[in-house]
Amino acid sequence: MTATKHASSWSTPPRDALRVGHGFHLRDVDPESTPGFDAGKKHAERELAAGVPTLSELQERLFAASTQGAPDAVLLVLQAMDTAGKGGIVRHVVGAVDPQGVRHYAFKKPTPEELAHDFLWRVESQVPAGGQIGVFDRSHYEDVLIGRVRQLADAAEIERRYGAINDFEEGLVGRGVRVVKVMLQISADEQKARLSERLDRPDKYWKYNPGDVDERELWPAYQEAYQTVFERTSTALAPWHVVPANHKWYARIAVQRLLLDALEGIDPQWPAADYDIAVERARLAAT
């Protein structure tokens, strides 16, 4: 490819350093840590900038390949407690690529129509098409997170959903969608500081919602619900990555690297001409 590979500062790539495997426990993750990356903030900013042309070219190749029928796509699933930095990932990592190739969808509280269907109904319609990078800003995992913590469904239904999610994601992978699952993990103290900042700054008031404190009071229950999510749905085909996120700069390079890995795994190629180049040159010359 044209974009030159830059020397990376990762000692261990995030796909290894952050992947949820057997014996993982969320309480063991230090939100202040920067696994696999010891170089600090300044290097991280350079790393992020250096990744942009590569990400951008890979996205264009992915899109180009889809115009001749390649089914490959990437789906970034973002989950986190409030203020953990999902928005910053979308803006600073995903925002670096051509908006034509990105499909961002923020899942909100389900509507009555959505609730009348299976929980995956509204999710299916947002799956990225071939050539796209999809971003789920919250996702079907809310149905086993807030769904469990707030008992929005009975226990048997919650149980059923873990298996349904695994089947759904296996189906995605089978049709060419690489699923990159990311949970941004901040500490309770860091959340407090970030919520507090929103109450201090008039340009941040709109980001604050009294319900955020209600959810915050359920912190231990959410951590437990996440732990169960990891145990039940971190599969070989679609593993979870828990990204320590007290340092925004770390979370951003980690997610960028995970996206780069997914795209490099696809290794999309510029499609060959599906027309006769010499004939077209002659036709064009005649105009």
272 binds a copy of itself (CB under 8 A): yes
User: Nearer Cβ to a copy of itself, position 25 or 204?
Assistant: 204
What residues form DSSP beta bridges with 60? none
Among 7, 42, 202, 236, binds a copy of itself (CB under 8 A): 202
Exactly one of 208, 226, 230, 240 binds a copy of itself (CB under 8 A); which one?
A: 208
* Residue 259 found at the interface with a copy of itself (CB under 8 A): no
Fill in the DSSP letter of residue 142: G
Binding segment (CB under 8 A) for a copy of itself, from list 31-39, 42-50, 208-216, 237-245:
208-216
* Token pair in block for residue 187: 């500490």
Q: Rounded to the nearest 5°, which phi and psi values hold at 18?
A: -115, 0
Is residue 57 within 8 Å of 1, Cβ to Cβ? yes
Counting contacts by CB under 8 A, is residue 267 touching a copy of itself? no
Cα 34 to Cα 75: distance, rounded to the nearest angstrom? 24
**CB-wise, 59 or 233, nearer to a copy of itself?**
59
**How far apart are alpha carbons 243 and 86 in whole angstroms?**
11
Q: What is the rounded distance in angstroms from the CA atom of residue 16 to the CA atom of residue 27? A: 18
Say how far apart CA 97 and CA 110 lie, in whole Å. Answer: 29
Q: Binding residue for a copy of itself (CB under 8 A) from 3, 52, 106, 164?
A: 106
The DSSP secondary-structure symbol of 2 reads -
Taking the CA atoms of 67, 92, 230 and 207 in sequence, report the sign of the dihedral they define: negative
Please give the single-letter amino acid code of residue 28: D
Residue 236 touches a copy of itself, criterion: CB under 8 A? no
Nearer to a copy of itself, 132 or 185 (CB): 132
How far is the C-alpha of 87 from the C-alpha of 92, rounded, in Å? 8
Contact range with a copy of itself by CB under 8 A, out of 25-33, 204-212, 236-244, 251-259:
204-212
d(CA 244, CA 31): 4
Residue 207 C-beta: closest distance to a copy of itself, Å? 8
Count of C-beta atoms within a 10 Å radius of residue 47: 22
Is position 210 an interface residue for a copy of itself (rule: CB under 8 A)?
yes
Say whether residue 109 binds a copy of itself (CB under 8 A).
Answer: no
Convert residues 80-99 into a mask of x (bound to a copy of itself by CB under 8 A) and - (unbound). -------x--xx--xx-xxx
Under the criterion CB under 8 A, does residue 125 sit at the interface with a copy of itself? no
Residue 278 sits at φ, ψ, to 5 deg, of: -65, -45
Q: Which of 19, 46, 104, 232 binds a copy of itself (CB under 8 A)?
A: 104
Binding flag, residue 213, a copy of itself (CB under 8 A): yes
39 is a site residue for a copy of itself (CB under 8 A) = no
Owner of token pair 């036709």: 283
Q: What SS3 class is residue 9? A: coil
Binding residues (CB under 8 A) for a copy of itself: these are 2, 64, 67-68, 87, 90-91, 94-95, 97-100, 102, 104, 106, 135, 137, 192, 195-196, 199, 202-203, 205-210, 213, 216-217, 270-273, 275, 277, 280-281, 283-284, 287
